[in-house]
Chain A
């Protein structure tokens, strides 16, 4: 089955001083798939995320997302064009309630400005009501409605991860980029997360997933790319990649018996 490509990453290179974090990485993500990005620690997965979402500017290479070139855009422009992300070390707005966190996510799809808020115009009030109802829906969608009013930093670890996903979904992304969403989760939480991600995909959002949990990646992803020392060493269906000798070498070390 051939589906339209959503994101094409071409020959991305990113160096930090003498360290080459990403060397000539190219990959293509298709509409509606769950694409896994794996690799040992320090392989450059998060760097690729940061380059993709505009936090870093690549030294070379291009991104084509949904027909537009994203390289050099500021993070907020990237979010506007339809890529939302979560962070490896959760970055919620700790002193805002769960509800408010999601409401912030609606920022990019809403318009109300300072004057509208001061005069409390009809449009502003309607928009504010829409923000509230959509945020409530999203909290229910990820299954943390009961914590809507709690400060996000007081949520449990798993709920924080869910809230981050809800906040990212609030920006109405075409591509949801998740940086180790299952990190620190127990088996039950991981299983729930997997169901959530499948639900998100079936609702039409493409997912790019960095993950260490091999079982999760193998069971969930349609295709997987493996990074090692900033290079892509394999790409394909999870079952193929798993058998790739290069991948085994990267994970288990040099010489095989």
Chain B
């Protein structure tokens, strides 16, 4: 027994240990979709949706976590990205541009919307900013709902259908291809693509965090007047936070539209903004890994509940007493309350937040 522990310890402190760990994680992430697909393709789709939410959370993390600007309308940028893709790659306008052109366009358009939201709200903070961003999110949705007249741009509440899937050369993301004896279904291909985008997003977040710009964001969050006096152009730096956060949403929205093949304003309601914000807060505002963890947990737990609560109740009571959806929201609310009481900095807080909340004030 002790021999085992000693050998494990040896393994852990071995200089190759970090690389071994990375290799294990890469391998796990690589085979994960096939394992999930063997349970049911639905789980691959759920994973993809979780990664999309992780992307959104990382984008919102820049605005809320780093710069401290409370944004309650973040889903609007997701909508903008999704509609960009849908309109440029569907029979609606008869346009079928390839995704690698549309995604940057979607990101850029979302950036513009980010600046549109940021510019008039530069002087607002806290509650006031939250209310304006909330309104912004709703305005975008209402526009999407009503821009079917006089010129039909968004097709109103019916949404846009028959959206093109991604295509790289001959590889079509809506079909199953056999490669190396493995069946690469559509969702599995999207999974790998999303994973790649997520890695890029994480790297961007991490590198921004410890940069000149990242410090400027935190400085603004801490004390805007002092930040200005130290020579930070707060207007530009805040707009950059909004724009950069929005671009993440734009890219995620584009991929969302392609995976679904159909989008409507229904997908971009206020609750979605709150959901993304909850992921950021629950996971650990300001910490990249915490935010990703929050997104994955809040995406998966409800689905797991959906598949377990109903059978469990039927097994115990012989019938369905409480709808899974009700239990889901109940647990979600409970989790949030408990988190705020016992782990206010999030499940995996940033080192800064952890210090903020653990060290006592001496002054």
Residues of A bordering B, CB below 8 Å: 53-55, 74-76, 79-80, 84-85, 87, 91-96, 100, 103-110, 112-114, 116-118, 120, 124, 127-128, 131, 151, 153-157, 160, 167-168, 170-171
Contact = CB atoms under 8 A, between A and B. Distances in A.
A153 B363 contact: yes
A151 B359 contact: yes
A33 B272 CA distance: 59
A103 to B, nearest CB: 6
B58 to A, nearest CB: 13
Interface stretch (B46-54, B93-101, B218-226, B335-343): B218-226
Contact of B232 (A53, A107, A128): A107
Interface of B: 203-204, 207-208, 211-216, 218-219, 222-223, 225-234, 240, 244, 352-353, 355-356, 359, 361-363
Contacts of A154: 359, 361-363
Contacts of B232: 76, 104, 107-108
Contact of B212 (A79, A95, A110, A118): A110
Given A76-B232, A76-B233, A95-B356, A118 B207 contact: yes
B211 A95 contact: no
A91 B211 contact: no
Contacts of B234: 76
Contacts of A85: 229
B223 A171 contact: no
B363 A91 contact: no
A171 B231 contact: yes
B231 A80 contact: yes
A96 B233 contact: no
Contact of B226 (A93, A95, A120): A93
Contacts of B208: 114, 117-118
B212 A117 contact: yes
A153 B361 contact: yes
Contacts of B203: 118
16 contacts: A55-B228, A74-B233, A76-B229, A76-B232, A79-B229, A80-B231, A85-B229, A87-B229, A91-B229, A94-B222, A95-B218, A96-B218, A96-B222, A104-B230, A128-B211, A154-B362
Q: Which 10 A-B pairs have the closest CB atoms?
A: A108-B231, A79-B231, A117-B211, A93-B222, A75-B228, A91-B226, A104-B219, A112-B212, A76-B233, A95-B356
A156 to B, nearest CB: 7
Contacts of A131: 212
Contacts of A92: 222-223, 226
A79 B229 CA distance: 6
Contact of A104 (B227, B240, B353, B359): B227
A170 B234 CA distance: 18
A55 B231 contact: no
B16 to A, nearest CB: 25
Given A95-B356, A154-B361, A53 B240 contact: no
A75 B226 CA distance: 9
A151 B356 contact: yes
Contacts of B223: 91-94
